Structure 1
Amino acid sequence: MASYDDDLRFAHVLADAADDITTRRFRALDLRVETKPDLTPVSDADRATEDSLRNILRRSRPRDAVLGEESGQTGIGPRRWVLDPIDATKNYVRGVPVWATLIGLMDGDDVVVGVVTAPALGRRWWAAAGGGAWTGRSLTKASRCQVSQVTQLSDASFSYSGIGGWAEAGRLDGFMSLSKAVWRTRGFGDFWSHMLVAEGAVDVSAEPDVSLWDMAALQVIVEEAGGRFTNLAGVATPDGGSVVCTNGHLHDEVLAHLTAGTAP
């Protein structure tokens, strides 16, 4: 297996640059918020962060393509950096500290490096293919991430981002079925749900409607922590339109609940 250690170190450089912008603009009195065509908010911090990361990539990785939530794709080639400058913008603009910059590197169809940096929480998670998943403040101050060993759904903790999306996707019955089957539900939401699965604090997380930039960085972290990461159809991809993360033991049972009563 190829080593992506240099790329992982570089992804941390990108994460540091992102943190510098996002933390300065968080709770800023002059933060500007607009509405995109899909009615989701975007702030000047989202755009400034993505522009900064693109400039660094243009200088340091000129041969790599870049896909970002705000400016789409530039460049072509097998290696592609996938960026979400601020995941959970709705939290960011309201002053809720649960938001992060997501930085993924894809080599072909495979995500090989992922960094999730959440400076307002004082947390960062990362992984490179074959190197395990880690959390901490830096590469040298880190502890290993490992999914839980819960094997009974009745003992499991399930985190999600909201109920509305499940209703819109026609999957509310499946969501409620799973919610009733588990020990505990909490709406930690967005990237945090899935990182909590990676570190074993939560056993199941799921979202019915996601994009590639929401998921690329997360997939390699969850899988390197020993978990399973698929869409609702059970396909292991960051680009499947939905996501289900588990500790692995519970995955098939979770999918059965979430897809109950829906057409394949």
Structure 2
Amino acid sequence: MPSYHDDLALAHMLADSADGIGMERFRANDLKISTKPDMTEVTDADMAIEKTLRSTLSRARPRDGVLGEEYGTDGGASGRQWVIDPIDGTRNYVRGVPVWATLIALFDQGELVVGLVSAPALGRRWWALKGAGAWAGRNLRGGKKLGVSKVRRLADASVSISSVSGWGKLDKQDRILRLVNSAWRERGYGDFFSYVLLAEGAVDIATEPEVALWDLAPLALIVEEAGGTFTDLTGESGPDGGSALATNGLLHNEVLQILSDEGS
């Protein structure tokens, strides 16, 4: 298997640039906010981060493709593609809540091989390399290896969701309520934070009903390399199914049954 250590180091360099831009504009009085056609918010920081990362990648990896939330897809001849969410948690960002992050992932020939999440307002990063585990810390040199929890009973499990209202759009609000009412505890950490907490063993179940590839790509690898299971709500593995269910693995089938269309 090829070594992707240089790509992981590059992802950390990209995150350094993103952190600088994001923190400079965080809680700025002149932050510019607009609404995209899908009615989600975008800020001048989102745009600046993605432009900067694309520019760096065009020099450092000129043959690689790039998919970003704000500027779409640029092709590449190498069969490799970087996936970028410049600010995951934009609504937190615009309200001054420090739970937001830049998400960076690399696919090689369709296989997810590098994932990194950088949350500078929290002073923390999470990253993973295919086959080499998942880690967290302030930088690449100071990481601590992650592992999911060993909770086996749903009644003992901590569940993190994005929101109840999002499940109502899919006529699955009764499913998510059944799940959280069956669990020991539920919280709405939301966005990237649910999944990295799961990789740390602090949360046992994290799920969202509607998400894009850039929302999930590095998170799927981080969860799996920490020993967890990551699928969509139909049970298909990977981050590109349009929905997400991550667990410590021990609870996955039971939770999937509750949330899936086959669940009673």
Q: TM-score range by the shorter chain?
A: over 0.9
Q: Deviations over 1:75-98 (max 9, x none)?
A: 134200000000010000000000
Q: What's the secondary structure of 1:113's corresponding residue?
A: strand
Structure 1 position 170, deviation (Å): 1.4
2:109 equivalent in structure 1: 108
Contact 2:80 2:110 in 1 (8 A): no
1:22 equivalent in structure 2: 22
1:4 and 2:11 correspond? no
Instruction: Report the CA distance shift for 1:222/1:114 in structure 2 as closer, same or farther (over 3 A).
Output: same
Q: Deviations over 1:141-168 (max 9, x none)?
A: 1111100000011000000111111000
2:250 equivalent in structure 1: 249
2:128 equivalent in structure 1: 127
Structure 1 position 254, deviation (Å): 0.6
2:137 equivalent in structure 1: 136
1:39 equivalent in structure 2: 39
Q: Deviations over 1:159-215 (max 9, x none)?
A: 011111100011111101101111000000000000000010000000000000001
1:171 equivalent in structure 2: 172
Counterpart Cα distance in 2 of 1:257 and 1:177: 8
Q: How does 1:100-249 map to 2 (within 5 A)?
A: 100-249=101-250
Contact 1:173 1:261 in 2 (8 A): no
Structure 1 position 109, deviation (Å): 2.1
Fraction of identical pairs, as percent: 57
Instruction: Give structure 2 stretches of 5+ with no counterpart.
Output: none
Q: What's the secondary structure of 2:195's corresponding residue?
A: helix
2:260 equivalent in structure 1: 259
TM-score, normalising length from structure 2?
0.98
Counterpart Cα distance in 1 of 2:60 and 2:227: 32
Structure 1 position 2, deviation (Å): 2.1
Structure 1 position 262, deviation (Å): 6.5
Q: How does 1:55-70 map to 2 (within 5 A)?
A: 55-70=55-70
Contact 2:257 2:263 in 1 (8 A): no
Counterpart Cα distance in 1 of 2:111 and 2:191: 22
Task: State how many pairs are aligned.
Answer: 263
Quick one: which amino acid aligns to residue 135 of structure 1? Answer: A
Counterpart Cα distance in 2 of 1:33 and 1:42: 6
The farther-off stretch of 226-235 and 105-114 is: 105-114
Alpha-carbon RMSD across the aligned residues, in angstroms, is: 1.1
Q: Deviations over 1:17-42 (max 9, x none)?
A: 10010000000000000000010000
Counterpart Cα distance in 1 of 2:228 and 2:63: 32
Contact 1:174 1:260 in 2 (8 A): no
1:89 equivalent in structure 2: 90
TM-score, normalising length from structure 1?
0.98
Counterpart Cα distance in 2 of 1:252 and 1:3: 33
Structure 1 position 260, deviation (Å): 5.4
Quick one: which amino acid aligns to residue 51 of structure 1? Answer: K
Q: What's the secondary structure of 1:158's corresponding residue?
A: strand
Q: What's the secondary structure of 1:73's corresponding residue?
A: strand
Structure 1 position 111, deviation (Å): 1.0
Quick one: which amino acid aligns to residue 70 of structure 2? Answer: E
Counterpart Cα distance in 1 of 2:22 and 2:178: 38
Quick one: which amino acid aligns to residue 185 of structure 2? Answer: R
Structure 1 position 108, deviation (Å): 2.2
